[in-house]
Amino acid sequence: MNAVEVNHLRRIFTPTVGVIRRQKKEVVAVNDISFDVRPGELFGLLGPNGAGKTTTTKMLTTLLIPTSGNAYILGMDVVEQAEALRSRIGFIFGGERGLYWRLTAEQNLRYFASLYNVDPSVAKTRIPYVLELVGLKDRANEKIEGYSRGMKQRLHIARTLLHNPEILFLDEPTIGLDPVGARELRAIVRTLQAEKKTILLTTHYMLEADELCQRIAVINHGRIIALDTPEGLKKNVSDLSVIELDVAGILPDTLDKIKAQPGIETVSVEDHDQKQTMVIHSPRGSEAVPDLMNCLMGLKIGKVIVREPTLEDAYVRLVEGEV
Ligand SMILES: Nc1ncnc2c1ncn2[C@@H]1O[C@H](COP(=O)(O)OP(=O)(O)OP(=O)(O)O)[C@@H](O)[C@H]1O
Ligand SMILES: [Mg+2]
């Protein structure tokens, strides 16, 4: 039996728009999605803002009712058996509030354990266990108003582990965390995976998805546009090389000139602290570099790198190919 089974799931929202002439508008947030997650698998959901990832996650965690289609978690129907299912799943949504700032981490967990009907004798051993698992054992008796964002996020994970759920839905767990905080959180996700939990992870960080996920579904405009292992997704761009050029003072027509060169697929500019980096996808690889240099005549050029495509490059091609 699959841990998650999703069949033709759809969700339409009908918000009211307009101030004077109020009208109902249809937003198809999730449009006929089907996929399975195996027991113990760490499955990723990737996709641009508004693609339908959170809406999908909310339907799978019984927080939203699907418009049509169905989904089974641990063999249980997310609509018909929602109540019973809730005690077997855990979820966190990134940037979530809902912890009590004036209480310590330990007191917060005690409160949530009673809310989730965790037997007090079980909670007694479970609370120190989850605090240890998320690395907060030494800070458990401090009020969480003094906690960093990363610590609060880890406490959210601890909270959702109290009832020992078999499957976890983590929607952007590393959002807003600094690189160290994000790394600590990924280590926790790996520990949970080692504990044989099934995990459905939504993230915008490609390195995170590449590092953690066994399979990934890329969602765009409410549909799955690719579903594969990270390696499989990268094969879609195996014909490409990526050229990265640090340049100062890029002008709008510089980009047009570059796009007009032979064999240039995409050009984007990343802004870093002190510099701008042009990222160019081309099947020509280093052969394209002299043409690029001609286009950049007169500009200050720093490092030039020609590298293999990453998951992010595969993602960009998939999503940009769709627009
Ligand atoms: N309660 C709602 N009412 C109306 N529209 C909604 C509602 N919730 C979500 N939507 C719309 O559904 C679409 C999908 O939203 P969703 O939050 O699932 O995207 P997402 O993939 O999680 O995006 P992000 O990466 O920004 O978190 C968007 O167009 C969004 O505006
Ligand atoms: Mg979302």
Query: Stretch 33-51: mean pLDDT, rounded?
Result: 97
Q: CA-to-CA distance for 86 and 116, rounded, in angstroms?
A: 10
Q: CB–CB of 319/233 below 8 Å?
A: no
For the segment 3-16, what is each residue's pLDDT rounded down to a tens digit?
Answer: 999 999 999 999 88
Q: Which atom of ligand 1 is nearest to the CA of 11?
A: 12
- Measured CA to CA, the distance from residue 160 to residue 144 in angstroms comes to 17
Tens-place pLDDT, residues 167-199: 999 999 998 888 998 999 999 999 999 999 999
In this structure, the answer to whether residues 278 and 151 fall within a common structural domain is no
- Torsion over CA: 83, 85, 88, 93 (sign): negative
Residue 316: closest CA among 216, 218, 209, 232: 218
Asked if pLDDT for residue 316 goes beyond 70, the answer is yes
Q: Is 26 in the pocket of ligand 1 (CB under 6 A)?
A: no
- Domain termination residue (choose one: 234, 260, 291): 234
CA distance 220 to 53: 9
Tell me, what's the pLDDT at 35? 98
Which of the listed residues 9, 16, 23, 54 should we mutate to test ligand 1's pocket, taking the one with most ligand atoms within 8 A of CB? 54
Which atom of ligand 1 lies nearest, measured to the CA of 51? 21
Q: What is the CATH number of the domain that holds 198?
A: 3.40.50.300
Residue nearest to atom 11 of ligand 1 (CA): 29
At 187, give phi and psi (nearest 5°).
-65, -35
- Report whether pLDDT(211) > 80: yes
For residue 272, pLDDT over 90 is answered with no
To the nearest 10°, report the CA torsion of 206, 248, 272, 288: 10
Point out the domain boundary residue: 234, 257, 275.
234
Q: Which amino acid belongs to residue 101?
A: W
Question: Is the pLDDT reported for residue 96 higher than 90?
Answer: no
Instruction: For residues 55 and 140, state if they share a domain.
Output: yes
Per the CB < 8 A criterion, the answer to whether 184 and 178 are in contact is: no
- Mean pLDDT (the chain) is 93
Angstrom distance (rounded) from CA 52 to CA 49: 8
- Residues in contact with 253: Cβ distance below 8 Å, sequence separation at least 6, in sequence order: none
Task: Look at residue 129 and tell me whether its pLDDT is greater than 80.
Answer: yes
The crossing angle, in degrees rounded to 10, of helices 120-133 and 105-115 is 130
Query: Which residues on neighbouring strands pair with residue 244, listed in sequence order?
Result: 279, 305
Mean pLDDT of 281-306: 92
CA of 95 to the centre of ligand 2 (A): 10
Token representation of residue 27: 């937003």
Q: Can you tell me the distance from the alpha carbon of 320 to that of 323, in angstroms, rounded to the nearest whole number?
A: 5
Whether 52 lines ligand 1, by a CB cut-off of 6 Å, is yes
Same domain, 178 and 295: no
Give, as one character, the DSSP assignment of residue 43: E
* Residue 50 CB less than 6 A away from ligand 1: yes
Q: Which residue has the tokens 């200050």?
A: 300
CATH of the domain at 272: 3.30.70.260
Do residues 290 and 200 share a domain? no
Domain boundary among 201, 234, 267: 234
Q: What count of Cα atoms within 13 Å lies in the side-chain half-sphere of residue 152? A: 21
Contact 276, 269 (CB under 8 A): yes
For ligand 1, say whether the CB of 47 is within 6 Å of any of its atoms.
yes
Residues 243 and 154 placed together within one structural domain of the fold: no
Does residue 257 share a domain with residue 191? no
User: 131 and 72 in one domain?
Assistant: yes
Residue 94: per-residue pLDDT: 78
User: How many domains does the structure of the chain reveal?
Assistant: 2
53 in ligand 1 pocket by Cβ < 6 Å? Answer: yes
Judge whether 152 and 109 are in contact, CB under 8 Å. no
Q: Which of 11, 8, 51 is nearest to 220 (CA)?
A: 51
Domain co-membership, 227 together with 244: no
- Give the residue, out of 10, 33, 55, with the most ligand 1 atoms within 8 A of its beta carbon, to mutate for a pocket test: 55
Instruction: Judge whether residue 235 has pLDDT over 70.
Output: yes
Q: With both helix axes pointing from N to C terminus, report the angle between 149-161 and 120-133 in degrees, rounded to the nearest 10.
A: 140
262 Cα–ligand 2 center, Å: 38
Residues 299 and 311 in one domain: yes
Indicate whether 180 and 198 sit together in one domain: yes
Name the nearest CA neighbour of 92 among 196, 162, 10, 1. 162
Domain residues for the domain of 293 are: 237-320
Q: 43: pLDDT confidence band, cut at 50, 70 and 90? A: very high
Q: From ligand 2's centre to the CA of 93, what distance in Å?
A: 8
204 alpha carbon, closest ligand: 1
Ligand 1 pocket test, pick from 13, 16, 23, 65 with the greatest ligand atom count within 8 Å of Cβ, gives: 13
pLDDT at 230: 96
Q: Is 15 in the pocket of ligand 1 (CB under 6 A)?
A: yes
pLDDT at 25: 86
Please work out whether the CB of residue 18 comes within 6 Å of at least one atom of ligand 1: no
Same domain, 163 and 271: no
Q: Is the pLDDT of residue 274 over 80?
A: no
The pLDDT of residue 323 is above 80:
no
Same domain? 43 vs 93: yes
- Output the six-digit token pair for 220: 């765009």
CA separation for the pair 140, 194 (Å, rounded): 24
Handedness of CA 135, 138, 143, 148 (dihedral sign): negative
The residue behind tokens 């004036």 is 102
Ligand closest to CA 27: 1
How many residues can be counted in the chain?
323
> What is the CA(51)–ligand 1 centre distance, in A?
7
User: Is there an atom of ligand 1 within 6 Å of 165 CB?
Assistant: no
